[in-house]
Amino acid sequence: MNKELIAALNLLEKENGISKEVMFDAIEKSLMDEYKTQFNTVENGRVVLDRITGDFHIYSDRMVVEKVTIPEQTDNNSKKNTEKYISATEIALADARKIKPDCQIGDIVTVEVKSEEFSRRAAKNAKGTIVQKIREEEKAALYNEYHSKEKEVITGIVQRIDEKGNILVDIGRTQTTLKVNDQVKGEVFERGDRIKLYVVSVSNKEKPGTLVKVSRTSPKLVERLFEEEVTEIKDGIVEIMGVAREAGSRTKMAVRANVPNVDPVGACVGVNGARVKAIVNELGNEQIDIIEWDENPAQLIVNALSPAKVVSARADADEKKAEIVVSDQQLSLAIGKSGQNVRLAAKLTGYGIDIKSEAQVNAMNNSDEAEDDFAAEDQEEELTFTEDFTEDTDAAEYEE
């Protein structure tokens, strides 16, 4: 290890946010692991790693003895290895006085471990530890960076589109894949296009590294785009209360003002529709209906069915059901193409919505009146029959 290593660690700290001190700690641990491998202990050893030069030294504290005790068996009784045996805890008096001339038996002398074989293995293992630690720290830093962006909108650049239609997107320090199921039908992107994505979740459990799941279909994408575009929402003056979306086609969003005399819908639309147009363009001309939130469920549903005009509305808060009446001319508009308008209104409000035209209601009322009349006639006949039967019975009894 040398100054080149220090320079590399400085660069990692600056560009990747990996703490240099964390790397030093990892290197020192690696060196002590190698020390333990050789001497089977770490209690009397320590590492000194120069933070400026990158040089390291390993020291061992050993007790001064007359003669070092050699184990009976060392590496299969190899005489050669026995002759080279170095105790981890003891040092002969003669050797100790080369280091500390006035030492006596029983003293503790600090010895630098200078075995060439040991140093070579230790340096090799330390380099391996550095590489592994860098990967771990980069993964952790990457996860932390993108985890902080979870549930937010990020911008990426399209890299390529695979044969299944999945889009590989460069999002800065990593790449992610916009799956086909998370794409809006009809949207077409090419390599180099800038694309806004909603970060659904971030995980660091995948083997390849941090996995950033993104979407273009989530209702939250619309919500976050309005938060970016509309200052009043960012400042909390206007609040988004709910979003119902059929991606690529139509979105309904309910908003309310938290400050008096503020038009929440107007704030979201912007001057000449500039704010909402910017978002519509980003979403590939998806239609966006912005309605005002109301605490009254019936009025909220009336607003949600916009642009259709409602004649009357009744909402049951317990059953979460609503009955809506519109004019004959407004029925198709209220329901929408393939039922989309009422379907989105139901998603937005959380109510099951039953829509009828005035003609349908009148027909039902007339039918109910006819049934009531018919029921009344049946009742009269039954009463008459009963009365007649009673009279006959009395007569019969009377005759007996």
In this predicted model, what pLDDT tens digit does every residue of 256-265 receive, in sequence order?
Answer: 999 999 999 9
Q: Given a cut of 50, is residue 212 above it in pLDDT? A: yes
Residue carrying structure tokens 């995980």:
203
Question: Which strands form 321-326's sheet, in the order they lie side by side?
Answer: 310-316, 321-326, 352-357
Question: What is this structure's pTM?
Answer: 0.68
Contact 202, 176 (CB under 8 A): no
Q: What are residue 250's DSSP bridge partners? A: 246, 287
pLDDT digits (tens, 9 = 90+) for 68-107: 887 765 555 444 455 556 777 889 999 899 999 999 999 9
Could you identify the residue written with the tokens 């960076």? Answer: 145
Cα–Cα distance, 194 to 155 (Å, whole number): 7
Q: Lowest mean pLDDT: which of 57-66, 169-178, 215-224, 255-264? A: 57-66
Counts for the chain of helices (H) and strands (E), in that order: 13, 15
What residues form DSSP beta bridges with 314?
Answer: 323
Q: Which domains does the chain have, with CATH numbers?
A: 3-146 (3.30.1480.10), 149-215 (2.40.50.140), 219-357 (3.30.300.20)
Cis peptide before 219 (omega within 30 of 0): no
Q: Which of 209, 70, 49, 196 is nearest to 130 (CA)?
A: 49
CB 59 within 8 A of CB 46: yes
Q: Which residue has the tokens 């695979």?
A: 162
Mean pLDDT of 248-276: 96
- Residue 194 banded pLDDT, cuts 50, 70, 90: very high
Rounded Cα gap, residues 215 and 107, in angstroms = 70
Cα distance between residue 258 and residue 252, in whole Å = 20
d(CA 126, CA 325): 78
Q: Are 140 and 23 in contact (CB under 8 A)?
A: no
Whose tokens are 């908003």? That residue is 255
Q: What are phi and psi of 144, to 5 degrees?
A: -60, -40
Collapsed DSSP state (helix, strand, coil) of residue 310: strand
Cα 169 to Cα 199: distance, rounded to the nearest angstrom: 13
**Helix or strand holding residue 354 (H, E):** strand 352-357
pLDDT confidence of residue 377: 45
Q: What share of the chain is helix, strand, coil (3-state, %, to 5)?
A: 45, 25, 30
Q: At 198, list the tokens.
A: 């909603």
4 against 263, higher pLDDT: 263
At residue 83's C-alpha, the angle toward residues 77 and 88, to 5°, is 90
Print burial letters for 236-266: b (CB count within 10 Å at least 16), e (below 16). eebebbbbbbbbbbbbbbbbebeeeeeebbe
